[in-house]
Structure 1
């Protein structure tokens, strides 16, 4: 199970409540909606919504919105507040809970986050293709004498602990731990993709690789050169943006053909400034040209892997023969190994059939780079 808390908001509950009951556009397909639980005076609006009638839905929205008005008059305060709470609990594909199980899970989750019976809430399940997820909309304002509000300090860590307990209770798949994403929040679209593919989003894979490179660099008291090499081993490449003095002012990372700036990945840790100050990656401004050369090595290495090579075979028996060519690339290690074994075998065969002085196997090594002419002569002048 994955738990996500959306940004809180001020004002009306209208947009959130209409969203969870399927009245507004979604970024994912909904094959079914089911009301799990609610504690308002108004009745379940879903039957009416399914028939195209939003009267009961409007009544529920009014009931939610009235609480803030009552609080404002009761405590005479103009302090800005954000009473609209929205969270989601998502199961892995193939997992499911019954309505009573979902109701119990929602109650446990809300209690862990500090909500009680005086807080209005409604929970609705969406069946999204092959997995279930429940949206919870709640009012952070309590309907008590002082209209106190549910605190949100440490709510994300509390949410993780609560979800873990629910997973254990219902024997559900465990969600990725914060260390796997380096503390970066996941968008709703990324969350859905993560659940569908049973894998971390690309951005979080990048962060995991970069975080590992930072730790490894610090472990050996390394510098930006060390950091660059460690990233390259993981197929993560960096690109620098220079200021007017020719010094780095920004950094971006590339993985799997995707480029993301350090600021977008995690602005509190992965910008150039944070890497060289907060994260302890040493950098000497005098080495900028050498560093750029180190970064550019990525292109050279990829060009090397793209080169095409040929083994040339010439059998000599007192006459000129056309050579035979075997094509391979630099990364075809197994092919090279096989060729070597064939060469050894041919040496044995020729030594057995002919006198060594009269016949020998001549091997030439020819390199061909795509885009350049490759002309093989029809005949070779043999060396006696």
Structure 2
């Protein structure tokens, strides 16, 4: 299960409540809607909505909206507030809970977050093919003499703990969670992809790796060179954007072929400025040239994976010498195994044509293009 808290908002509850009851456009297919629970005076609007009648839905929206009006008159405060709370609990595809089980899960989740009998809420389940998820819309204003607000400090950590306990209670698959997300929220699209693939979104993977590299760098009082090397060990590479003086003004991170800027990942911590002023990564402007060289360096294993290899075979048939070239890249670490398999293939295919007893590997060339002059080993070394 994954729990997501959407950004809170001010104003009417209309858009959120109409959304969870399927009255507005969704970014996913809905094959079924079911009201799980609610504690409002107005009745469940779903039966009417399914028949095209939104009268009960309008009553529920009015009931939610009236609480803020009562609060404003009662405590005479013009302080801006965001009473509209919206969260979602999502199961992995193939997993499901009964309505009573969903009701228990919602009650526990809301209680853990500080909501109680004085706060209005409604929970609605959406069935998306074989994927169940429940939307919860709640009022953060307490309907009592104080009209106080439900606190939201540390709510994301509380949400993750609550979800973990719900998973344990109902025997659900544990959702992947990074060691440290640094408070970066996950989009709905990322959430759905995470549930589908059973893996963390790319952004959260990168943040977890970068956070670990920052901690390790600080532990040894390292600098930007240390940070770069630690990231490279995790196959995370950095790219710098320079200003007119040739000094870094921006940084982006590369992982698994994808590039994301530090500002997009976490603008309050992972921009170039924040890394050297707030996160404690030492940087000497005089070393920019050396740092650029370090950034551009890839580990020898990574270099080997992208090198192009050509093998030249000479088949001797009387006075004829016919070369055969095979080109491939070593994208995995079973390089010798690939060579052996190729040799066995040639032996099997060309047995009759080239008399394999006289067919031998003459030499190999790195990044050699057939048709051009062959480089002898000495020339090859000089050309690298």
- What range describes the TM-score normalised by the shorter chain of this pair? 0.7 to 0.9
Residue in structure 2 matched with residue 366 of structure 1 by the alignment: 365
TM-score, normalising length: structure 1: 0.84
- 1:170–1:305: structure 2 CA closer, same or farther, 3 Å change rule? closer
Q: What value does the CA root-mean-square deviation take over the aligned residues?
A: 3.1
Distance 2:116 2:2 in 1: 22
d(CA) in 1 for partners of 2:197, 2:310: 41
Distance 1:58 1:369, change over 3 A: farther
Structure 1 residue 6, shift from structure 2 partner: 1.4
Indicate conservation of the 8 Å contact 2:121/2:136, yes or no: yes
Q: Give the 3-state SS of the residue equivalent to 1:200 in structure 2.
A: coil
Q: Which moved more, 1:225-234 or 1:186-195?
A: 225-234
Match of 1:290 in 2: 290
Q: Is the 8 A contact 1:37 1:103 kept in 2?
A: yes
Question: What's the CA shift for 1:49?
Answer: 0.8
SS at match of 2:322: coil
What is the match of residue 56 of structure 2?
A: 56
Tell me how far 1:58 sits from its aligned partner.
Answer: 0.4
8 A contact 1:317–1:360 mirrored in 2: no
Structure 2: any 5+ residue segments left out of the alignment? 344-357, 376-384
User: What is the alpha-carbon distance in structure 2 between the residues aligned to residue 153 and residue 362 of structure 1?
Assistant: 69
Provide the residue aligned with 2:142 in structure 1: 142
Aligned to 2:352: none
C-alpha separation in 2, matches of 1:141 and 1:291:
53
Query: 2 CA distance for matches of 1:122 and 1:334?
Result: 57
Query: Contact between 2:313 and 2:323, CA under 8 Å: does it hold in 1?
Result: yes
TM-score with structure 2 length normalisation? 0.84
Q: Does 234-243 or 298-307 show the bigger shift?
A: 298-307
CA deviation vs aligned residue, 1:213-271 (integer Å, no higher than 9, x gap): 33343444443233323333433221111122110011011223322110110122211
Q: 1:368 to 1:316 in 2, by over 3 A?
A: same
Structure 1 unaligned blocks of 5 or more: 344-358, 378-384
1:298 Cα deviation (Å)? Answer: 4.7
Greater C-alpha Rg: 1
Contact 1:253 1:260 in 2 (8 A): yes
Deviates more, 1:304-313 or 1:80-89: 304-313
Question: Would the aligned equivalents of 2:178 and 2:200 in 1 still touch at CA under 8 Å?
Answer: no
Q: What is aligned with 1:34?
A: 34
Q: CA deviation at 1:123?
A: 0.6
**1:231 match:** 231
1:104-162: CA deviations, max 9, x gaps?
11111112222221211111001122211111111111221222222222222222222
Change (3 A) 1:183 1:10: closer
Tell me, yes or no, if the aligned pair for 1:213 and 1:231 is still in contact at 8 Å: yes
Number of positions where the alignment pairs a residue of Structure 1 with one of Structure 2: 361
Instruction: Go from structure 1 to structure 2 and tell me whether the alpha carbon gap of 1:335 and 1:163 turns closer, same or farther (over 3 Å shift).
Output: closer
SS at match of 1:181: coil
Aligned mates of 2:201, 2:163 — CA distance in 1: 20
Aligned to 2:19: 19
Compute the displacement of 1:278 (Å). 2.9
Counterpart-to-counterpart distance in 2, 1:121 and 1:316 = 84
Question: Are 1:29 and 1:128, in contact at CA under 8 Å, matched by a contact in 2?
Answer: yes
